Structure 1
Amino acid sequence: MLGIFFNKTLKISLLFTTLIVASTISTAVNAQETPQIFGDMKIGHKFNPDPFTVRGMSGGSVSGKRIAGRRDTLTGPCQGFFDRKPDHTLELTDKFEYLKLQIQSPEDTTLVIKGPGGSWCNDDFEGKNPGIVGEWLPGTYQIWIGSYNKNKYLPYTLQITEVK
């Protein structure tokens, strides 16, 4: 249990260091409010802002196959390494005919989502960034963001949009 706490504390510490360095180097690109970190999300139709963003640090020591309970899904392979607990929980209050969830990271990351109807994995949805797009049922989804190397932690931004 102490290891899980330490890993999450280390990831948060690394993320804050990365964010501080990035904010001192770069200027603001847009006026959108600062994304939350490792947050739980609850959204319904016509959520605002769109895209909704949240930041975190990928990685851990548990294989994607173990998290998802399978090697592959229809949306892609279950590769990489993750924390035991999800990085985010997403509650959808409505059914979405179209919803896109995508990760942006400076390095190659992976994705596992568990929710109503099963589990989904992805790698390289757009370039080296994972994502999943399609119809989503209402309910609670657990989201893990992983790295290819065990215990390698990478900063990321998760974006959710209902705009095609």
Structure 2
Amino acid sequence: MDMHKLDGTGKKRWGWGAIAGLTMALAITAPSIAQNVQNMSLGRGFRDDPATMKGTAGGRVSLASIAGITDNCRGFANTAPNHTVTLTDNFPALDILVRPDNINDDPTLLIKGSNGDILCADEEGGGRRPQINSRLVKGSYQIWVGSKTPNQSFNYTLSLSEARQK
């Protein structure tokens, strides 16, 4: 199907139907674009502490299989990480906390560092808020926020701070 129209000069021009079809196609693909990894770069003494990012947790792949270990990596997420955080300095302590938007949702957390570090959390922050407080070295960290149940999804806020969060 030709999405162009010939104008009076014999040149092809986009017709309104083609523009509407293109707009519809973009609208349909927009949600998959919105699920791309969110990136953040942090150095020591970063402003707006805690730094936050929002996302949607959950998926069908076990965090243990993504991590390549079975110890303390519970939950399910998508294969792609929810976030990538690049640390431009070594952090003697960085506190990473997941707060679900709905208190009844039960998130889990996996962090994989470019240096091979693997950190997992499940409710260590008390209640239903997984939390990791750890020394982290300069580098890139992929972060997955999972759900306890496969294919369950919910919204959350990921919070990173140089101080212990409650």
TM range (shorter): 0.7 to 0.9
In the superposition, the TM-score normalised over structure 1's length comes to 0.74
Aligned residue for 1:42, secondary structure, equals: strand
Asked whether 1:112 is paired with 2:72, we answer no
Q: Tell me how large the CA RMSD over aligned residues is.
A: 2.2
What does 1:1-150 align with in structure 2 at a 5 Å threshold? Answer: 9=31, 39-72=38-71, 77-105=72-100, 106=102, 107-115=105-113, 116-126=115-125, 127-150=127-150
Match of residue 153 from structure 2? 153
Determine the C-alpha separation between the residues in 2 that align with 1:38 and 1:161: 20
Q: How big is each residue's C-alpha offset from its partner over 1:56-97, in whole Å with a ceiling of 9 and x where there is no partner?
A: 00001100110110111xxxx111111100000000000011
* Normalised TM-score (structure 2): 0.73
- Quote the offset at 1:148 in angstroms: 1.1
Change beyond 3 A, Cα 1:79–1:125: same
Question: How much has 1:109 moved relative to structure 2?
Answer: 0.4
User: Unaligned 5+ residue runs, structure 1?
Assistant: 1-5, 14-36
Deviation >6 Å, runs of 4+: none
Pick the structure with greater CA Rg.
Answer: 2
SS at match of 2:89: coil
Residue type matched to 2:31 in 1? T
Percent identical among aligned pairs is: 38
Q: Which amino acid is 2:157 matched to? A: T
How far does residue 9 in structure 1 lie from its aligned partner after superposition? Answer: 3.1
Match of 2:11 in 1: none
Deviation at 1:163, TM superposition (A): 1.8
After alignment, is 84-93 or 114-123 more displaced? Answer: 114-123
Query: How far off its partner does 1:10 sit?
Result: 6.8
Q: 1:103 to 1:11 in 2, by over 3 A?
A: farther
The aligned length equals 131
Contact 1:58 1:146 in 2 (8 A): yes
Structure 1 residues 118-141: Cα deviation after superposition (integer angstroms, max 9, x where no partner): 211110012211111021100000
User: Any gaps of 5 or more consecutive residues in structure 2?
Assistant: 1-27
How far did residue 117 of structure 1 move?
Answer: 3.7
Distance 2:147 2:33 in 1: 12
For 1:40, the aligned partner's letter is N
